[in-house]
Amino acid sequence: MTATPFVVGRRAVPARAGAATRVFLLVDDPDARVADLVQAIGSDPAFTSRVLALANSAYYGLSGRVGTLPYAVSVLGFQTIRALAVSIAAGLDRPGAVPPGFWEQAATAATAATVVAPVFGADAHDAFCLGLLHTLGAALLHQQHPLPRLCLPLPEDPDELHRHERELYGVGHAEAGAAVLASWSFPARLCELIRCHHEVPLPDAAPLSRTLHAARTLADLALLPDPGTGRAHGTLQRLSEGRLTDLEVGPLVVRVRDRSAALLDGLRG
């Protein structure tokens, strides 16, 4: 298999995701109103239930109190609605559609990105969206042929996954995810960050790029049994120019772990 057939094949949004398609258009339309978004989501019962489930999750602190779709949309915000639309368009809600551990990693990275965004001066909504979707390519590749392992920044051999994906699919998951999202009108600046999410940020990197890398590092600390703590702490300190010290990282990881569990519940509906 080569990269080209895969990406082209994914450009079309699946037919069952008509509501998601309308959401893609609406969130970028400056004239769109919440009512338009609500109408689009409301046309798909599965989408509606996911939006309500997430808004009622403990992550947002309103458990059980969000009864209507307009209220749920205002709680989540347009960016998060867009991320949910992506997951529906990509069929990630179907059984077996994602590799094991996919949602745990996505929820943890999204939580971590939101928590560290202020440290880097990045927008927290963009950060959440990036954290949740940066591994989308891994799920899409997995749907072609099950992946051997998830995308993690600190595997024993960092090149192994990349080589494996190239051999199996002709394209890496970062590139594949960015290409599909671009074809679904996802903002170009976010697509570019997803395409480069395995590249180490240089000193002049944008705040959002640092945020995503720091979030991925924190997600590893929260999820992996042996995450290479020393290296991860060094990375966080370098990215934040000393603002995230070893002393602060420990409590941060605990907070990310707790909050991402709540988010995961909401995402699973």
Summarize as ranges the residues that interact with another protein (CB under 8 A).
115, 118-119, 158-159, 162, 199-200, 202-203, 230-231, 234-235, 237-238, 241-243, 245, 248, 255
Note every long-range contact of 28-34, with CB atoms under 8 Å and residues 24 or more positions apart, other chains counting: 28/185, 28/187, 34/70, 34/73, 34/74
Distance from C-alpha of 43 to C-alpha of 29, rounded to nearest angstrom: 19
- To which H or E segment does residue 128 belong? helix 124-133
Q: At 174, list the tokens.
A: 């970062």
Asked if 128 contacts 112 with a C-beta cutoff of 8 angstroms, the reply is: no
- Shortest Cβ 56–another protein spacing (Å): 20
- Shortest Cβ 155–another protein spacing (Å): 12
Name the residue with tokens 């976010």.
Answer: 190
Following CA atoms 227, 156, 240, 134 in sequence, which dihedral angle do they give, to the nearest 10 degrees?
Answer: -90
Beta strands (DSSP E) in the chain are: none
Closer by beta carbon to another protein, 29 or else 258: 258
Distance from C-alpha of 8 to C-alpha of 39, rounded to nearest angstrom: 30
Distance from C-alpha of 227 to C-alpha of 250, rounded to nearest angstrom: 13
- Shortest Cβ 57–another protein spacing (Å): 16
- Shortest Cβ 65–another protein spacing (Å): 18
Closer by beta carbon to another protein, 185 or else 238: 238
Longest dimension (CA), the chain: 50
Closer by beta carbon to another protein, 64 or else 230: 230
What radius of gyration, in Å, describes the C-alpha atoms of the chain?
18
Distance from C-alpha of 215 to C-alpha of 115, rounded to nearest angstrom: 8
Closer by beta carbon to another protein, 22 or else 198: 198
Closer by beta carbon to another protein, 100 or else 148: 148
Closer by beta carbon to another protein, 96 or else 242: 242
- Shortest Cβ 98–another protein spacing (Å): 26
- Shortest Cβ 29–another protein spacing (Å): 31
Closer by beta carbon to another protein, 101 or else 153: 153
- Shortest Cβ 182–another protein spacing (Å): 19
